[in-house]
Structure 1
Amino acid sequence: MDADRLGQLRGWATRADVIRCDGEVAGFVLVFGPGTDYDSANYRWFAQRYAGDFHYLDRIVIDDRFRRRGLASAVYHAVERDAAEAGRLTLEVNSDPPNAPSLAFHRARGYQPVGELGEPGHRVVLLVKETGPNV
């Protein structure tokens, strides 16, 4: 991704946060709310299904040096809390080939499959966690 594309994504994002740990950059997260021009097929699938009632966690990246410190869980707590107003947090995880650790992480956090996109060798499962006030 070049700087122009990153700037475009940051402009559309609801959250574009740098994750810091021990004074160092440990990763980043991008989340998109409804109504943006984001051109991701996965985002568009959720937008068609949920209209204005979702946030889409596009990516979270944690540097290997900072893994197993609870950073991803802390970020998910914050992102899920922010998504409560919209009613749900949506995302996708690779299912072919499977990203078993990510699938297990999301299952443990209460994410449910609602669809699949892609073709053999590159498929994703679309996941949703209801986050509204009645959950």
Structure 2
Amino acid sequence: MSIVVRDVREHELDSVLALNNAAGPAILPLDAARLRHFFETAEYFRVAERDGTLAGFLIGMGAGADHDSSNFRWFRERYPDFFYIDRIVVASRRRGGGVGRAFYADAQSYAELRYPQLACEVFLEGTNDPVLLFHGSFGFREVGQHLMTETGLRAAMLMKQLCSYPWVHETYGNALPDVPWITQPRTSNQAALVRRPTGTCP
């Protein structure tokens, strides 16, 4: 069956929390309070459904977000404008089935209308070569490394230029057309729509 990517619903937060904390060392653990904070504030918080069951989730936010991750701060100290993927989790039984690519396609479709770049990190401890390969195949490149003071983990810091953004911003500015496929997932955060033109693709 097809993969459906949609906004998270409040009653699904317990399931999302369980998915996160069963994901293994590649994903930092969450507690219910922090997940609730993401639900209330994150610009992008979507889940994937496959065969009627929850298959994963992705949380993201713009550079202006009030987010305390040291990885997020690393990007903000170096880049003026980007969309940050804080975490993506795919249920173990669904890995390799296209859920991760569906999430990244959806997140990019959202971000490229509003931001010039996508940012994320991959932890370098352990066997994360497949994860790095996945990101590389999707167009991300390493722009540095960061040692997280809060965890002691080293991360490869990855970015991807969004080539559509300069044209979209020059053409529409801050007034994107009001059509369903453009409607931002988290409509409570209208400040995220205020963008400025920065950067172009090579």
Normalised to the residue count of structure 1, the TM-score between the two structures is 0.90
**2:162 is matched by which residue type in structure 1?**
T
Structure 1 unaligned runs (5+)? none
Which secondary structure does the structure 2 equivalent of 1:69 belong to?
coil
1:76 — aligned with what?
104
Distance 1:18 1:29, change over 3 A: same
Measured in 2, the distance between the counterparts of 1:81 and 1:18 equals 15
Q: 1:10 aligns with which of 17, 35, 39?
A: 39
Measured in 1, the distance between the counterparts of 2:125 and 2:94 equals 27
Does the aligned pair in 2 maintain the 1:97–1:122 contact within 8 Å?
Answer: no
Measured in 1, the distance between the counterparts of 2:41 and 2:68 equals 10
Is 1:46 matched with 2:75? yes
Does the aligned pair in 1 maintain the 2:56–2:99 contact within 8 Å?
Answer: no
Q: 2:94 aligns with which of 52, 62, 66?
A: 66
Is 1:104 matched with 2:130? no
- Aligned-residue identity in percent: 38
Larger-Rg structure: 2
Which secondary structure does the structure 1 equivalent of 2:124 belong to?
strand
Does the aligned pair in 1 maintain the 2:118–2:162 contact within 8 Å?
Answer: yes
Measured in 1, the distance between the counterparts of 2:98 and 2:121 equals 21
Structure showing the higher strand proportion among its residues = 1
Which secondary structure does the structure 1 equivalent of 2:100 belong to?
helix
**1:21 is matched by which residue type in structure 2?**
R
For residues 44-88 of structure 1, the C-alpha deviation after alignment (integer angstroms, 9 at most, x for no partner) is: 11122222x200011111111112221110110111122212111
Structure 2 unaligned runs (5+)? 1-29, 165-199
Residue 36 of structure 1: how far off its partner (Å):
1.4
Is 1:130 matched with 2:161? yes
Deviates more, 1:10-19 or 1:82-91: 10-19
2:60 — aligned with what?
31
Moved over 2 A (4+): none
2:83 — aligned with what?
55
